[in-house]
A = this chain, B = another copy of it.
Amino acid sequence: MSSIAARLIPAWLRQYQLTDLPTDVVAGLVVGVLVIPQSLGYAVLAGLPPVYGLYAAIVPVIVYAWAGSSNIQAVGPVAITAIMTASSLYPYAEQGSEQYILMASLLALMVGALLWIAGQLKLGWIMQFISRGVTAGFVSGAAVLIFVSQIKYLTDIPISGSSLVDYVGSMITQTNQLHPQTLIIGVIAFCLLVANRYGKKWLWHSWLSASYAKWAERLFPLILLIIAIVLSMSLQWGALGVAIIGEIPQGLPSFTLPPIPDVSEALNLLPTAGLMALIAFVSSSSVASTYARKRGESFDANRELTGLGLANLVGGFFQSFAVAGGFSRTAINVDSGAKTPIASLVTVLVMIAALVAFGSALAPLPYALLGATIMSSIIGLIDVATLRSAWQRDRLDALSFLAAFFGVLIFGLNTGLVIGLMVSFASLILQSSQPHVAVVGQLGGSGHFRNINRHDVVTFTNLLILRIDESLFFGNSESVHRRILQATKDYPNAKEIILIMAAVNHIDLTAQEMLSTLNQELAEQDKRLHFSFIKGPVMDIIGHTPLINELSGQVYLSTIEAVRDLEKG
């Protein structure tokens, strides 16, 4: 019984101290109220009716509170998963249609299932595969796309597509659909929000204390939202042709089975869901691990996979779209004093209250305000600082940044991310593609062998001794091959070629085949190939392969042994 309870009741709840309750409740209320505009906006960004932003902040949050890795991370709808949802579903259904809404939940469910499976397989280390440059470049590119996509709501021009080219193209051809009143409302809201965020020094700090100024800045979007609702109601913006969000359905998200896709559709969505899962995991982990470090806690990547996975999986059955941990949400949560997931559960109550009690009050809200909210908040995600520091400190990482950034703008989110990853992997391989292959000689009469260019060593006419300084794999086997052949041309009288393998930790299939080819080529020139100092684990792998079975020479335990056996004076 107690073990079942232990599995069902999370550790933070069993150890809950009632003294934390007041700050948790306050933090939960603050986050709940402040993130409402954002949540509505991200739903719109995802191509869904605004109310789905509130839905996405209910069931997934409850599940993450139970199963997540972090006590203080606030999960919910975030910009990146929202835009990825929009661009993935673009070919399948019209934004906002019933089919589209169901597919957004299906995608959340798939993302959740993939994350959960990855958690069960303990694939948390996969986070390490994405370099800083790729993440920053991808997020920056996505931010630009998001910014441009929201111009739709500030102008009423129907912008669609999945890349910057699509957006700009559809914008240019349809400028005649610009709606002036909408533009005025949107631009004013955008300017106010940008001033609030980037002009906070003179706007708030000039007359408020630091902590008041911080809260003034945070409350401002909500106040603007209320003002917009009041103005829209009193000035009848809807009747002027300004798009307003309209009556939103009252009540909680309900259990809804997403459509069962046909196999081909599911397979088309799967790679997209995989990339979304990767990005949701990487961004959530980066939030959760940053705060874990600040609080001196350890961060368990596999637990984060499982928690985020379940949150999306269960959320997918309750009308949620894909969620992740959000930096701004979490920052507000922590700043407001959250100690445990109780704060998140209070946030859920705020969302429920908004849905049940204030739903109809939101009806006059113009879409332009939501667009302006997102545009002003997304600017900060364009990460010029990382690009600049990468440029100064690691050019190849800067290249990965640029590849991901322009990849996203030109080819869209998925292809852009893949391009960025490819470039970062390629630059990694490039770094080890030219390993050092040194011609060595014997140091005095000792068992030590050193580079003949740097030390005064003894060489032997019939022997060519080469030291390979790195593991052999597909990325360097051709250049190693070339260098060895070059050395045999430089020392034409050496009939016995000895490769010192002391630094080789691994020889992959490509490199094994290269060595086999080399063995044959040397044999055709009446030269023999020998190895010395092959490490135990390497020998275990290659011991019974054609490479060793057909080797023209011998495998020696040490180089000195090889020299004694082979030298002819």
Chain A 376-397 interface mask (CB, 8 Å, partner B; 1/0): 0000000000100110111011
CA distance A289 to B418 in the complex (A): 30
Tell me whether B479 and A264 are in contact (CB under 8 A). Answer: no
Q: Does A130 contact B (CB under 8 A)?
A: yes
Q: Does A250 contact B (CB under 8 A)?
A: no
CA distance A393 to B539 in the complex (A): 11
Tell me whether B521 and A264 are in contact (CB under 8 A). Answer: no
| Complex interface: chain B residues within 8 A of A421 (CB) | 422, 425
Tell me whether A428 and B128 are in contact (CB under 8 A). Answer: no
CA distance A125 to B431 in the complex (A): 12
Tell me whether B521 and A293 are in contact (CB under 8 A). Answer: yes
CA distance A127 to B426 in the complex (A): 11
> How far is the CB of A176 from the nearest CB of chain B, in Å?
20
Q: Indicate whether A397 sits within 8 Å of B131 (C-beta atoms), given known contacts A165-B263, A411-B267, A429-B428.
A: no
Q: Does A169 contact B (CB under 8 A)?
A: yes
**Residue among A127, A476, A508 with the highest chain B CB neighbour number at 10 A:** A508
Q: Does A415 contact B (CB under 8 A)?
A: yes
| Complex interface: chain B residues within 8 A of A397 (CB) | 508-510
> How far is the CB of A428 from the nearest CB of chain B, in Å?
6
Instruction: Please count how many residues in chain A sit with their CB below 8 Å of the partner chain's CB atoms.
Output: 65
| Complex interface: chain B residues within 8 A of A476 (CB) | 128
| Complex interface: chain B residues within 8 A of A386 (CB) | 509
Tell me whether A169 and B474 are in contact (CB under 8 A). Answer: no
Q: Does A541 contact B (CB under 8 A)?
A: yes
| Complex interface: chain B residues within 8 A of A424 (CB) | 474
The 8 Å CB contact of A517, one of B163, B166, B293, is B293
CA distance A507 to B473 in the complex (A): 21
> How far is the CB of A518 from the nearest CB of chain B, in Å?
10
Interface positions of A from 255 to 309, Cβ below 8 Å from B: 263-264, 267, 270-271, 293
> How far is the CB of A234 from the nearest CB of chain B, in Å?
43
Tell me whether B542 and A129 are in contact (CB under 8 A). Answer: no
Q: Does A70 contact B (CB under 8 A)?
A: no
Tell me whether B132 and A513 are in contact (CB under 8 A). Answer: yes
Q: Indicate whether A509 sits within 8 Å of B474 (C-beta atoms), given known contacts A125-B433, A264-B166, A394-B541.
A: no
Query: Which B residue sits closest to A263, measured CB to CB?
Result: B165
| Complex interface: chain B residues within 8 A of A161 (CB) | 264
Tell me whether A393 and B263 are in contact (CB under 8 A). Answer: no
| Complex interface: chain B residues within 8 A of A127 (CB) | 478
**Residue among A129, A392, A430 with the highest chain B CB neighbour number at 10 A:** A129
Count this chain's copies in the assembly: 2
Tell me whether A271 and B509 are in contact (CB under 8 A). Answer: no
Q: Does A471 contact B (CB under 8 A)?
A: yes
Q: Indicate whether A508 sits within 8 Å of B478 (C-beta atoms), given known contacts A128-B433, A429-B128.
A: no
Query: Which B residue sits closest to A476, measured CB to CB?
Result: B128
The 8 Å CB contact of A128, one of B392, B425, B477, B513, is B477
Q: Does A523 contact B (CB under 8 A)?
A: no
CA distance A474 to B430 in the complex (A): 15
CA distance A517 to B292 in the complex (A): 13
Tell me whether B521 and A169 are in contact (CB under 8 A). Answer: no
Tell me whether B264 and A131 are in contact (CB under 8 A). Answer: no
CA distance A271 to B420 in the complex (A): 13
Query: Which B residue sits closest to A290, measured CB to CB?
Result: B517
Tell me whether A411 and B270 are in contact (CB under 8 A). Answer: yes
The 8 Å CB contact of A411, one of B133, B271, B429, B473, is B271
Give residues in A with beta carbon < 8 Å to B: 125-133, 161, 163, 165-166, 169, 263-264, 267, 270-271, 293, 386, 389-390, 392-394, 396-397, 410-411, 415, 418-419, 421-422, 424-426, 428-431, 433, 471, 473-479, 505-510, 512-513, 517, 521, 541-542, 544-545
For the complex of A and B, the 10 pairs showing the least CB-CB separation, nearest first, are: A131-B474, A425-B425, A394-B509, A397-B509, A132-B510, A394-B508, A132-B509, A390-B509, A128-B478, A393-B545
21 A-B residue pairings within 8 Å (CB atoms) = A130-B474, A131-B473, A131-B474, A161-B264, A163-B264, A165-B267, A166-B264, A169-B263, A267-B411, A271-B411, A389-B509, A392-B544, A393-B545, A394-B507, A397-B510, A418-B418, A418-B422, A422-B425, A424-B474, A428-B428, A431-B471
